[in-house]
Every structure is written in structure tokens, then in C-alpha cells.
Amino acid sequence: MSGVTASASAIHRLILIRHGETEWSKTGRHTGSSDIALTELGEEQAKSLREPLDELLLTDPLVLSSPRRRAMHTAELAGLEISRTGEEFSEWDYGTYEGLTTPQIRETDPGWTVWNRGGPGGESPGQMSDRMDSVIDELLDCLLTRSVVVIGHGHFSRSLLARWIGSPVEFGAHFAMLPASVAVLGFDGETRQIQSMGITGYRSADYVDAGRPAHVRTTV
């Protein structure tokens, strides 16, 4: 933030939105630059965002989006008018692992996660961390005068959440961003906070995809 403190923008909030479900997200395929459309369910999830967004009482928000159609379509269905798109809001670049699931990747790269190794030929965790820091610097300047909404992706949002609170980007593994879910970021004086997470307009407890398998109770 250029020459000002975070407290100057304490009344303004940063709203992160992950796009709705796609066929690839449903089956756990890592989706970076591939331009995959929303499923019918993903479209319904995106439409359901209208009510929770209305309840946030955002006034004249700056709406920024990834240029991938799954993000832009989510914004449209949620009733948001995009101010600008940019590659800086795009998903983690998975490189040669694009389109693969974690089990497929681990057949040749045991123990892999995007958080510990990144995407070969794409972005490393360090590169993703640097990108998030640049995005945050830009957003902090915007937050001086208005609230900001960013429509992006799963690993993008989780990485930004980690860096927003000053944690290593790998800490993003501990956050969840369901399809068409909202996180609210803000300030307590000069301290950056995650104020709310997991906001959806649909019954999220019932949602299951490859990244969030149904819980099975085991007995011993």
C-alpha cells in the first residue's frame, strides 16, 4: 500500500469469490489456463450468490475477475458487473500437470501437492506467493476508496487468503473455497483479517466433489 496505513481503508472490504462448479473441478482435474465452462449445477450455484452478496451491502464495488469464462460467467449470474479482467487473478499455473488429478500426478510424483512443489513448467509456490503479494498491493490501493470484489479460482483464492494474513502461501492448504463461495477480508485497525469464509447461497453441507469427498465414519 503506497504511503498509507491499512487503517485508512478499514471500512472497505475485499470480497473473494470462487467460480461455480465445472466438470473438471467436480472430478478433481487441476484447471489453470484451460477454459472450462460451468456445469448446470455450477450455474445454479452462481445464481444463488445474489442473496448473500446483497446482504453484504456493497456500495459501488470495484469488480475484478479472472479472464477465464468460468469466473466471468459466475460474476454475470451472480448479478455483478465486471470492471476489469486480468491474468493476475487467474488460477495457479499447473504447467505439465494441467488437467490431471492428484492421484494421477502422484503415480510419478509421490507426495506431490501444489503447495509443496507447484506446477512443473508452471508456477512454483514461491512464484505464486510473489504474484499474490503483487495482487494484494494493487487491491490495498483500490480499498482506499471502495470495496473490491475478485472473482477467481480455488487455489488462487486460498493462496491470496494465506498471504493476506502474512502466512506462507503453503498455509493456503488449510483454507477451503467451495464452488461459488465467498470469503470476506478486511481490517481491524492496521491488522489484515479474514472476517468470514464459506458463505454460499446453496446448502453447502450437501455438496461433494473430488476435492471434498463425503465423510465416511470408520470403526475400530
Annotated catalytic residue, options 12, 19, 30, 73: 19
**Mapped to the 3 state alphabet, what secondary structure does the chain carry?**
CCCCCHHHHCCCCEEEEECCCEHHHHHCCCCCCCCCCECHHHHHHHHCCHHHHHHCCCCCCEEEECCCHHHHHHHHHCCCCCCEECHHHCCCCCHHHCCCCHHHHHCCCCCCCHHHHCCCCCCCHHHHHHHHHHHHHHHHHHCCCCCEEEEECHHHHHHHHHHHCCCCHHHHHHCCCCCCCEEEEEEECCEEEEEEEEECCCCHHHCCECCECCCCCCCC
Annotated catalytic residue, options 21, 91, 98, 123: 91
19 among known catalytic residues: yes
Catalytic residues: 19, 91
